[in-house]
Amino acid sequence: MAIAKAERLMNLALCLLGTRRPLSKRELRGSIEAYLEAASDDAFNRMFERDKDDLRELGLVIATVDNLDGDTGYLARRDSNRLPPITLDAEEAAALGLAAKVWQQARLAGAASGALQKLRAAGMPEARDPYEAQHSALEPRIPVHEAAFEPLMLACRDRRPVVFDYRKSNAARPGTRHVEPWTLECWRGHWYLAGWDRDRGAERVFRLSRITGRVRSRAGSFTAPVPDVVTVRETVESWAGETATRSARIRLRAGSGYPLRARAASVRELGGGWDELEIPYGHGLGAWLVEFGPDVVVLEPADLRADVVDRLRAVAKG
């Protein structure tokens, strides 16, 4: 089936690229064997629309033209589907090769590999890493395990509103969010989405690992302007206390909470399987501490302790 579809797409692309005038659906159906074998006109129309969308997704620019007889015609003009000369030096080629390796574990791996092959075929110089011999075992990776990544990436690209269920750190059950997605960014091994929360009428940042269920697309356009610069990292850092000017003291169970230990200004053994840590205190620290459950006890300040206790009680009540 995959081979048959690939052959059908190739034949359609060749027809659209080889014609000097727009071809109607009727003419395309008579020129491509797979379309002639369609069981009905409806089956052909569905097949053709899917194929046309697939070719556009692959990068083929297909023009739609109204013919004099009232029919709609299609063609792919060669000047619109021809890349300009590509001139990359060795350093630029190395940067592209490095970027392609980063996505090796994600669904973008095939697209990245295919793009590199096309660029090399067009004359891009072979990228040589001067450190490859010494550091061949070290390669960059951006892990993408969340199922929400790909649909959100496509929604950001197409400026398409989405709906998903999201579980806050202090909530036992997820709630539905209606979001206009702006951009995705990876920070400290976690992926975050920045966008406009329609229900709250404000900009929000969502951690992908807390999205439950399927991301659903919605028709319509964005209702809020997309900012020129979306500061996802700065927003997440402020929520996590990265830009904090205060300090908090917590007790942490020995052998746990390594992300907290990595950010601690000081660590002191208390004995009995507990350590005392001094960590930066900023907005959002309470929500982060709740994630460590019974392994963390807040000592001070009092407002942070009260915040964590309230969040834990809310989770316990369900």
- Please, what are the domains in the chain? 1-80 (1.10.10.10), 148-240 (2.30.30), 246-317 (no CATH)
Residue 128, classed as helix, strand or coil, is: coil
CB contact at 8 A, 204 and 178: no
SS3 track for 1-12? CHHHHHHHHHHH
pLDDT band at 240 (very low <50, low <70, confident <90, very high): low
**Which residues is 279 bridged to in the sheet?**
248
**C-beta neighbour count of 75 within 10 angstroms:** 19
Strand 72-75 to strand 63-66: parallel, antiparallel, or no bridges (unpaired)?
antiparallel
Instruction: Read off the pLDDT of residues 77-102 as tens digits, 9 standing for 90 and up.
Output: 887 777 667 677 777 777 776 666 65
Strand 246-253 to strand 274-281: parallel, antiparallel, or no bridges (unpaired)?
antiparallel
Q: Which of 200, 130, 128 shows the shortest CA–CA distance to 168? A: 200
Q: What is the DSSP letter of 40?
A: S
pLDDT band at 137 (very low <50, low <70, confident <90, very high): very low
In the chain the first and final C-alpha atoms are separated, in Å, by 48
**Which residues is 212 bridged to in the sheet?**
165
Between CA 59 and CA 66 the distance in angstroms is 22
Pair of tokens at residue 167: 């579980």
pLDDT band at 136 (very low <50, low <70, confident <90, very high): very low
Looking at the chain, the whole-number percentage of residues with pLDDT higher than 70 is 75
Q: What is the DSSP letter of 245?
A: -
What pLDDT does 5 receive?
A: 81
CB contact at 8 A, 196 and 182: yes
Looking at the chain, the whole-number percentage of residues with pLDDT higher than 90 is 26
What pLDDT does 142 receive?
A: 56
Pair of tokens at residue 246: 């205060």
pTM of the model: 0.46
Instruction: Read off the pLDDT of residues 149-169 as tens digits, 9 standing for 90 and up.
Output: 889 988 998 899 999 999 886
Between CA 274 and CA 251 the distance in angstroms is 6
What pLDDT does 108 receive?
A: 56
Pair of tokens at residue 242: 């990265």
CB contact at 8 A, 285 and 243: no
Residue 35 has pLDDT above 70, yes or no: yes
Q: Which of 217, 230, 219, 222 shows the shortest CA–CA distance to 151? A: 217
Q: How far is CA 41 from the centre of its chain?
A: 38
Inter-CA distances, 9 with 53, 60, 108, 129, 196, Å: 10, 11, 21, 37, 37
Residues in Cβ contact with 251 at an 8 Å cutoff, skipping those fewer than 6 apart: 270, 274, 275, 276, 277, 296, 297, 299
29, amino acid identity: R
Pair of tokens at residue 113: 């590999």
Residue 132 has pLDDT above 60, yes or no: no
Mean pLDDT of 251-269: 90
Residue 2 has pLDDT above 50, yes or no: no
The mean pLDDT value of the chain amounts to: 80
Alpha helix (H) residue ranges in 103-254: 109-121, 149-158, 232-239
Q: Which of 215, 217, 214, 222 shows the shortest CA–CA distance to 197? A: 222
50, amino acid identity: R
